[in-house]
């Protein structure tokens, strides 16, 4: 079955990453290229990081990390290979200027700076309604 972008099928997008419900923090793949991915998440009542209509900081950071995982997962999907499990290796910086609310769609763009031997260094920017709400830099590491 061929898929074209954007991918808005939550179940399909969820299968591209190792996390499973209720810990899936991406539900859309808006764009993909060799060094960039834009992922999305619409904050809903059933999200474990939503509290009193506000998406919590820990959920936003997890969404950012899973956006990186989606980049890797979609790469492996295109090669028709199972995606490996990865981990956050380090977070250099994260700045959160605003927390999303229930019903908001977060769009997160991941720019790959370096990828070497299973370690990926990325810059990440998250937006709601074209307004930046968070940015950061992290390293992810593939499990061996």
Q: Is 1 inside a domain boundary?
A: no
Residue 106 CA to chain centroid, in angstroms?
10
| Tens-place pLDDT, residues 77-113 | 999 998 888 888 899 999 999 999 999 999 999 999 9
Q: Residue 37's pLDDT is what? A: 97
- CA dist., res. 104 & res. 78, Å (int): 29
Q: Is 4 inside a domain boundary?
A: no
Joined tokens for residue 84: 């490996």
Ordered alpha helix ranges (H), the chain = 10-14, 57-78
Q: Is 137 inside a domain boundary?
A: yes
Domain count, the chain: 1
Chain length of the chain: 144
Joined tokens for residue 102: 């229930």
Q: Is 35 inside a domain boundary?
A: yes
28-33 sheet: strands from edge to edge: 28-33, 36-42, 105-116, 119-128, 131-142, 86-96
Q: Is 86 inside a domain boundary?
A: yes
Q: Residue 3's pLDDT is what? A: 65
Backbone torsion region of residue 40, taken as left when φ is above 0, otherwise alpha when ψ lies between -120 and 50, otherwise beta: beta
| Tens-place pLDDT, residues 129-138 | 999 999 999 9
Mean of the per-residue pLDDT values for the chain?
93
pTM, two decimals, is 0.94
Summarize the confidence of residues 7-29 as an average pLDDT.
93
Are 108 and 39 spatial neighbours (Cβ–Cβ below 8 Å)?
yes
- CA dist., res. 131 & res. 12, Å (int): 27
- CA dist., res. 19 & res. 27, Å (int): 12
Q: Is 14 inside a domain boundary?
A: yes
Q: What CATH number corresponds to the domain at position 72? A: 3.10.129.10
Q: Is 5 inside a domain boundary?
A: no
| Tens-place pLDDT, residues 26-50 | 999 999 999 999 999 999 999 999 9
Q: Is 2 inside a domain boundary?
A: no
**Domain span at residue 114?**
10-142
Instruction: Evaluate if residue 122 carries a pLDDT over 80.
Output: yes
Element spanning 12, H or E: helix 10-14
Q: Residue 53's pLDDT is what? A: 96
């Amino acid at each position: 079955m061929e898929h074209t972008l954007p991918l808005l099928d939550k179940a399909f997008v969820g299968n591209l990453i190792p996390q499973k419900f209720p810990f899936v923090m991406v539900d859309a793949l808006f764009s993909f290229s060799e060094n960039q991915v834009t992922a999305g998440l619409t904050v809903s009542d059933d999200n474990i990081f939503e509290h009193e209509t506000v998406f919590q900081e820990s959920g936003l950071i997890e969404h950012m990390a899973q956006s990186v995982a989606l980049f890797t997962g979609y790469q492996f999907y295109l090669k028709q290979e199972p995606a490996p499990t990865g981990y956050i290796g380090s977070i250099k910086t994260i700045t959160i200027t605003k927390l999303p609310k229930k019903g908001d769609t977060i769009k997160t763009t991941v720019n790959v700076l370096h990828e070497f031997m299973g370690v990926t260094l990325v810059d990440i920017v998250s937006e709601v309604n074209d307004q930046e709400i968070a940015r950061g830099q992290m390293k992810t590491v593939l499990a061996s």
